[in-house]
A and B are shown apart, each in its own frame.
Chain A
Amino acid sequence: MTEYLREQISSYFTDKLLGTLRDTILHMKGVSNAENDLHTSSGLQQFTDKTHKGDAGLEFIKHVCAVLALDENVQHDVLVMRKNLLKYIHVREFAPEAEFHDPCPSFILPNVICSYCNDCRDLDLCRDSVLVDQEWRCAVPQCGQPYDREVMENALLQIVRQRERIYHLQDLVCLRCQQVKAAHLAEQCACAGSFRCKEDLNDFRSKMQIFLNIAIHQKFQLLQECTSWILELR
């Protein structure tokens, strides 16, 4: 079975994807040409061409390969295919733009209990399509009881508070020797390296942003106020 799949990837899939990629690039080129008919500078046209090509085609390759690479058996062949596709659009294999980033961050709220049927489950608040669209209801088919909004908001608020507190209690780590800082007053490590936060500020902010988005989406006013204060949004 595995052999068959690997063979399929190196032949059928590679050809199909190359074809689709070519069509995509041509299409994007057509679109950008129509746009750039008004522009006079040819240098600019070339530049926008490349970026357009990069954007759509690159994203396509990244997403498809990321999905296919989930199967461990064919991972190696998928990577080879990926390298070839990237070569076609002149992007280096290990370039930062070729790295796949999950566009939809996930947040799982643990131990949500339904007040009616006492069903306990973990909810993925960002990815679960049912939750994103409608009001939050118990997933048990016979139940369908909407979850208590105040309980949910409070659960999220407590997580936010806890994370904020933990940020300010975190250790500082030396950039060079990776040791945790022990002294209080010293500005440099004993190895003369400077310190960085163990939990990076940008990671922290992006995680908080998830909560803010949930709050805005579900109209949790108190949670929205608290998270916007943490993110320093005026």
Chain B
Amino acid sequence: MNSSTIRKKVERKCKIRGYTLKVEALDEILSFVNRFQGAQDDALDLLLDQLEHESLKSSIIDKDPVHRVVSLLLEAEAAAEDGPDIDGVTGGSSASSIRVIDAFLVPKFRYDPIKKTFYEHTGGLPIHGEASAKAALYKDRFLLLFQRIARDQHFSKPAFDTEMSHFGSCEISPIQSLVGQTGRRWVMGVISQLEDGHFYLEDLTASITTGFFLENTIVVAEGEMVLEGVFQVITCGFPPLEDRDKSSKLLAGHDFFGGGILTKEETLRLAELEKRAINDMFVILSDIWLDNEEVMGKLEIVLDGFESVEVVPSLFVFMGNFCSHPCNLSFHSFSSLRSQFAKLGQLIGAHPRLKEHSRFLFIPGPDDAGPSTVLPRCALPKYLTEELQKHIPNAIFSSNPCRIKFYTQEIVFFRQDLLYRMRRSCLMAPSTEETTDPFQHLVATITHQSHLCPLPLTVQPILWNYDHCLYLYPTPHAIILGDRSEQKAFKYTGITCFNPGSFSNDYTFVAYRPSTQEVELSAL
């Protein structure tokens, strides 16, 4: 937009609101609006809204009120830019840049197939669910993917019978309808082991036998009904991915991520801030054994390195396990573990710049001390972290998995040895047609399933009422999987996904720049 059009626009908008602008005022407004290239309309609207709050003596606007409003808005912006607030609740114009969302605080949405819309589950969610919660867990997962596939162009119902799409009609049929019908059909269902050794495809109506992929994953299969209850599969695959923007359009107004709903102006403003925050860096380490001298030494080297950098990283993420001994019957020295956490606090405290300007996030690992091994895992117990909190007051202890919202970017952290467990539970080896890298297969699986941990519930139990914390819907911008396998990074359909590797075994970690989604794999 060139300057004359902007000028005309400003004049027109002010006229609509009944203001008469003086020349200096107009210039002031123009200089403010031109700061936000590409978002000028919204900036103008914002300014005019603020101007209404100002007490004006007459409808002739001078330079002064405009100047006041402009400085107010710029101040608010500068305050948000200056430094991330601690656990900020979005209060008007000063939103914090990094928001940590604990898994237990993520809102729960369920899909109603009759109304064809998501509705929020208000009311309490007990940690120990009732029997109905377990069935609802599977049903919600299925419906989440079902509604997504219904919008996909290949699988949607044709609106007019006369128009035939190029791909033929690949409408998903309920399994119950296959009884007594011949011909090739598409089905979608959950792979369940209803009888020992025999796998069935189950959907909301019935179940039929099939035989591969991971138990409990939801697959789409094309085939023909052969004998009683046996469905001969011709092709089989995961439900297609939905673009993030498409999901967001549909779900506008629903806070799936947990970071709070933002108005359009705020989203634009935050997007702008995000683009400018090129110096923000997250350093992610996984598997930090505090009881191992060598590991602590290497950790000190890393911290020393980042202490002397020009701009210190804004966030350090320390993922478990924090002890070389898993929490089981043979390991009982919790008091020494507590003092090791205190030592870590002192170590961090010995780096004044990091203590001042960076924040520290601690995510527990699967073998760390805590109430249970069921996902989502709550934060580390206060008994272990009290001392550390004293040294580092702005340390955050969050759940596993954990979500972070950086301005408008959605990042999910998850610490679990997924690769190993998936490969063990796999019913059939993944095809090596597209790639031989198992990490890429893992990323494809979790993104297509829209779930961080699609393992069978007997292998990895999940709290029945909190399965929604593990959803990846709408697909986040970045997924960080802490795994004990080697360090890897992979960009899949716009999602940045990486594994920092085990720090205690390989001394590898990752530095991530959120504004450019750049991943720096590092090692000592």
Contact = CB atoms under 8 A, between A and B. Distances in A.
Interface stretch (A3-11, A100-108, A130-138, A194-202): A194-202
B130 A161 contact: no
A232 B335 contact: no
Contact of A222 (B190, B334, B372): B334
Given A183-B207, A185-B202, A169 B458 contact: yes
B131 A172 contact: yes
A204 B128 contact: yes
B374 A187 contact: no
15 contacts: A148-B332, A150-B333, A150-B334, A154-B331, A169-B457, A172-B134, A184-B190, A184-B192, A185-B203, A185-B204, A194-B131, A194-B132, A195-B135, A230-B371, A232-B126
Interface residues of A, number: 37
A201 B130 contact: yes
A190 to B, nearest CB: 11
B371 A168 contact: no
Majority secondary structure of chain B interface residues (helix, strand, loop or mixed) = loop
Interface string A207-234: 0000000000000011001110110100
Interface string B456-469: 01100111100000
B370 interface: yes
A229 B371 contact: yes
A185 B194 CA distance: 11
For A150, A184, A194, A197, which residue has the most chain B Cβ atoms within 10 angstroms?
A184
A183 B194 contact: yes
Contacts of B139: 185, 187
B202 A184 contact: yes
Contacts of B328: 158
A164 B372 contact: yes
Nearest to A205: B128
B383 interface: yes
Interface of A: 148, 150-151, 153-155, 157-158, 160-161, 164-165, 167-169, 172, 182-187, 194-197, 201, 204-205, 221-222, 225-227, 229-230, 232
Contacts of B128: 167, 201, 204-205
Contacts of A230: 127, 371-372
A154 B325 CA distance: 13
Nearest to B370: A226
A153 to B, nearest CB: 7
A165 B373 contact: yes
Contacts of B457: 168-169
A185 B127 contact: no
A30 to B, nearest CB: 46
B12 interface: no
Interface residues of B, number: 46
A232 B332 CA distance: 25
B238 interface: no
B142 interface: yes
Interface of B: 126-128, 130-132, 134-136, 138-139, 142, 190, 192, 194-195, 202-204, 207, 216, 327-329, 331-335, 369-374, 378, 381-384, 457-458, 461-464
Contact of A168 (B204, B332, B463): B463
A121 to B, nearest CB: 18
A103 B103 CA distance: 38
B370 A158 contact: no
Nearest to A166: B461
Given A150-B334, A185-B142, A187-B132, A225 B207 contact: no
Name the 5 nearest CB pairs between A and B, nearest first.
A154-B332, A226-B371, A164-B372, A168-B461, A184-B138
B357 to A, nearest CB: 31
Nearest to B142: A185
Nearest to B386: A221
Contacts of B216: 184
A211 to B, nearest CB: 11
Contact of A161 (B190, B207, B331, B371): B371
Contacts of A186: 135
A153 B374 contact: no
For B126, B139, B216, B372, which residue has the most chain A Cβ atoms within 10 angstroms?
B372
A153 B192 CA distance: 39
